[in-house]
Amino acid sequence: MSSIRGRFLVGGIALILLVSAGPADAGGLFLSGVGSRARGMGGAFTALADDWSAVYYNPAGAAFLQQSELAFGAAALTPRISYTPDLTLDGWRANNKPDGEYYNIDQTYVVPQLGGYGRLSSGRMSLGIGFYAQQNNNMVWDLFFPYYRSKEQFPADDVTSDIKIWTAQPTLGWQVIPDQFSLGAGLTLNRTRIRQQRVLWVPDPGREAGLPPYSVGVAFVDQTIKGTGWGVGFNLGFLTKLDKWSFGATFQNKIVYDISGTDTTRFWSQIVDGRGEQTDPLIEQDLLSGKVHTSIQDHDFEMATPAVLTVGTAFFPSPNLRFAFDLGYTWYSEVEGIIATTNPTTTFKFGDPQGVNATTTVGNSEYYDWKDQWRVAVGSEWDPKPTLHLRFGASYEPAVIETTSLTPVYWDVGGKISPSLGIAVDFGGHYTVSYAFGAVFYESRSADTPSGINLPGTYGGLRYDNYLAFIVRI
């Protein structure tokens, strides 16, 4: 009977995922984890991994589940990133607001998380699947306004990022030594959708033709990259139990995404009254009449998510008290950026099409300068009553993004300190409602040299996370 229930539960999970899979707004290139229980414990879950979120934290842990379970949940994420710009070009201020602190446009992003495990008839194996948005980013800023007139209005939301990576993860956990040692493995099927909009500065192309220079010595280009693609990977883990201790480790490999999409690049020319006679009036008409030049190209891009290795331990001083510790290492340097593998540049030509006298070239790739980094997390869970569970935790990760590529596009502007707490209530013998709250505090950092997507200035901020889940056990 239990095996029939397990198969029914797994089938129900698969059906729910097929029906529910679809786009939804989310935020944060790297979320704080999956599942309200683990989030309440600061993400220190590798040596526990004894609920559905084992698909993410350690698939070996699910082998020790006593019951099949199905979880429905969501994470609501609210970023509040601060940026004090220092965008001075040739003595001219390049942003359109008074000096002071900027914030991203306020939004809360809701990320669904679904999954579960079914125990197989042998009692030593569990088959599970999870569907979640592990890695996402969604930021919107109004930062720029060219200090020259044009015939079209410069976009208000001029720096935006929307990177969604949806994960479907079937996994298997197996007790190699009953009640003592297990192995787990999972297949990671990722679907990504990207939309990156950024503002670039390019040298004034009119100077070489003898035209009046732009007021800030550079011209503005806004560029939007869109695309979708797939990536396939795996995760492996083990977990061993020794008296009042457990030890575990898990590894997720680097995943490379082949993305197909388009690149829309616009060059904003200025309006100059009383234009004089130039050697090439066609160039003058192109560059001094406020015309907006647009290029739309089909592109292939390549992007990666990094490999992650995490080891953890848990201690059980009593049946109703648990402590956990995780240490992880992420190879962020493997994320080189969003790299155009076709049409690496866009060239705008001004003047006589048969004899071009002025051009400007814009790169279509977005390069990062990130460094490999470790992360530490601690957590605890106390059951004051058999049906009540209280959770506490915290995590810390030093800065990932180098100051040479600091940008408002991503949340992770600095080192992250993240305290958390959670609560869960069991009722009816088969049901649990679980909630977790976490705050992420980003250290203040400064960048002073424009380079690539880097924007000079001072960065900081915080984020609030709310996780809610409903679990059914059979």
The three-class DSSP label of residue 101 is: coil
| pLDDT band, residue 215 (cuts 50/70/90) | low
**What's the CATH number where 167 sits?**
2.40.160.60
The pLDDT tens digits of the residues spanning 182-212 come to 999 999 999 999 999 988 877 777 776 677 6
What six digits make up the tokens of 177? Answer: 């030594």
**Cα atoms in the Cβ-side hemisphere of radius 13 Å centred on 362:** 32
Better pLDDT: 104 or 40: 40
Highest mean pLDDT (candidates 9-18, 435-444, 452-461): 435-444
C-alpha closest to that of 67 among 388, 420, 472, 444: 472
Cα distance between residue 330 and residue 297, in whole Å: 34
pLDDT of residue 274: 58
* Sequence-ordered list of residues with C-beta below 8 angstroms from that of 247, at least 6 positions apart, any chain: 47, 239, 240, 311, 312, 313
Expressed as residue numbers, the domain containing 202 is 2-473
DSSP 417-433: EEEEEEEEEEETTTEEE
Triad 416, 377, 420: Cα angle to 5°: 70
Other C-beta atoms within 10 Å of 267: how many?
24
**Tally of CB atoms within 10 A around 289:** 14
Q: Report the relative pairing of strands 159-177 and 181-203 from DSSP bridges.
A: antiparallel
pTM (predicted TM-score): 0.88
Exposed/middle/buried for residue 236 (C-beta within 10 Å: 0-12, 13-18, 19+): middle
Domain count, the chain: 1
| pLDDT of amino acid 218 | 73
pLDDT tens, position by position, 327-366:
999 999 998 889 999 989 998 888 776 665 678 888 899 8
Q: Is the pLDDT of residue 1 over 90?
A: no
Rounded mean pLDDT, 61-72: 92
pLDDT of residue 27: 30
Q: Which of 311, 303, 335 is closest to 194 using CA atoms? A: 303
- The yes-or-no verdict on residue 15 having pLDDT over 70 is no
Helix or strand run (H / E) with residue 375: strand 373-385
Which of 21-25, 145-149, 291-295, 298-302 is predicted most confidently?
A: 298-302
At residue 227, φ and ψ (nearest 5 deg) are 180, 165
